[in-house]
């Protein structure tokens, strides 16, 4: 049974892995025995985080701005120079912008969709050969897209492009799953609020009070979901959008 949920020996890339949810996921994969690359636009911060995470395993940093298609290609090329195969791609990097309806112009749409949707598509496209080389009979390579419960319901916040981008990411997940199987599975996690420096404490408390489980997510919740999808236990699941939100979606 332990082998069924093992990621030991696998190679993973976690975008936006130097903070927040990405950091939680990277740490969990390292503790599970995977070799993990984290990427970020900030080279210094990414390298520092990789050094700190190396306490739990083999962690390395790569620099990339996923809003730029050519940087997605460069990231894939750089990883290909270091690794013969990739087993797990976690598309976690994301951008959010909030503004009142009457002030929501073009920039919040472009900046958010460039990373949250286009960046995911292009990086997955460029990494496809490495992922296919990581696939094994009964244990495909994995793409895990980090979506949001805000892509499943309408939140109170005026973050129009973010919610639309996450809804688009959920559907892109299904489309990629259909196209990339059987060698690669593609699933999404629709996350609710999590304990991190990026979560407003008051908003987190309000959401926790509404959720059936009466709390917000923690590092084990994020890492556990990713490890399930990445291990042999999740090998028969593709095209799924899984809410990891303490049941918050049931209150929408």
Q: pLDDT-derived band of residue 252, with 50, 70 and 90 as boundaries?
A: confident
Convert the pLDDT of each residue in 50-67 to its tens digit: 999 999 999 999 999 999
Q: Which ranges of 83-137 would DSSP assign to H, the alpha helix?
A: 106-113, 120-134
The torsion angles phi and psi of 178, rounded to 5 degrees, stand at -65, -35
Cα 126 to Cα 141: distance, rounded to the nearest angstrom: 14
Contact 123, 180 (CB under 8 A): no
Q: Which of 40, 23, 26, 91 is nearest to 227 (CA)?
A: 26
Q: E strand or H helix at 180, and its extent?
A: helix 160-180
Cα 25 to Cα 217: distance, rounded to the nearest angstrom: 12
Residue of 162, 173, 190, 195 marked catalytic: 162
pLDDT at 197: 64
Convert the pLDDT of each residue in 16-42 to its tens digit: 999 999 999 999 999 999 999 999 999
Q: What pTM value is reported for the model?
A: 0.96
Task: Please tell me what DSSP assigns to residue 34.
Answer: -
SS3 211: coil
Cα 95 to Cα 185: distance, rounded to the nearest angstrom: 24
Residue 20's contacts (CB-CB under 8 Å, 6 or more residues apart) are 194, 196, 197, 198
Provide the residue range defining the domain that includes 183: 3-20+35-251
Convert the pLDDT of each residue in 112-144 to its tens digit: 999 999 999 999 999 999 999 999 999 999 999
Residue 213 lies in a domain: yes
Contact 86, 135 (CB under 8 A): no
* Cα separation of the two ends of the chain: 37
Q: pLDDT-derived band of residue 198, with 50, 70 and 90 as boundaries?
A: low
And the tokens for 27?
């740490």
pLDDT at 13: 98
Residue 30 lies in a domain: no
pLDDT at 151: 95
Strand order in the sheet with 141-148: 59-63, 35-40, 11-15, 88-91, 141-148, 184-191, 241-244
Residue 202: pLDDT over 80: no
Q: E strand or H helix at 219, and its extent?
A: helix 219-230
Lowest mean pLDDT among 99-108, 200-209, 211-220: 200-209
Convert the pLDDT of each residue in 214-229 to its tens digit: 999 999 999 999 999 9
Structural domains of the chain, count: 1
Contact 113, 95 (CB under 8 A): no
Tell me what the pLDDT averaged over the chain comes to.
95
Q: What CATH number is given to the structural domain containing 237?
A: 3.40.50.720
Residue 25 lies in a domain: no
Task: Please tell me what DSSP assigns to residue 248.
Answer: G
Contact 165, 217 (CB under 8 A): no
SS3 232: helix
Q: pLDDT-derived band of residue 156, with 50, 70 and 90 as boundaries?
A: confident
Residue 121 lies in a domain: yes
pLDDT at 162: 95
State yes or no: is 160 an active-site residue.
no
Cβ atoms within 10 Å of 82's Cβ, excluding its own: 10
Residue 162 lies in a domain: yes
Lowest mean pLDDT among 29-38, 70-79, 118-127, 152-161: 152-161
Cβ atoms within 10 Å of 54's Cβ, excluding its own: 13
């Amino acid at each position: 049974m332990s082998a069924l949920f093992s990621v030991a020996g696998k190679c993973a890339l976690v975008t936006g892995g130097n903070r927040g949810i990405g950091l939680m996921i990277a740490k969990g994969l390292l503790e599970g025995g995977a070799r993990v690359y984290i990427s970020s636009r900030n080279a210094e911060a990414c390298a520092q985080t990789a050094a700190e995470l190396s306490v739990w395993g083999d962690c390395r940093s790569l620099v990339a701005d996923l809003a730029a298609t050519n940087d997605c290609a460069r990231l894939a090329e750089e990883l290909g120079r270091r690794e013969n195969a990739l087993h797990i791609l976690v598309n976690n990097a994301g951008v959010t912008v909030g503004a009142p309806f009457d002030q929501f112009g073009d920039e919040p749409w472009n900046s958010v969709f460039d990373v949250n949707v286009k960046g995911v598509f292009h990086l997955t496209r460029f990494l496809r050969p490495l992922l296919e080389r990581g696939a094994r009979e009964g244990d495909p390579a994995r793409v895990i897209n980090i979506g949001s419960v805000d892509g499943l319901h309408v939140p109170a916040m005026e973050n129009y492009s973010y919610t639309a981008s996450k809804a688009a990411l959920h559907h892109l997940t299904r489309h990629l799953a259909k196209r990339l199987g059987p060698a690669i599975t593609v699933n999404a996690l629709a996350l609710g609020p999590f304990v991190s420096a990026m979560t407003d404490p008051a908003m987190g408390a309000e959401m926790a009070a509404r959720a059936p489980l009466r709390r917000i997510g923690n590092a084990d919740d994020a890492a556990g979901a990713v490890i399930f999808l990445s291990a042999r236990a999740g090998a028969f699941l593709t095209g799924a959008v899984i809410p990891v939100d303490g049941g918050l979606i049931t209150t929408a």
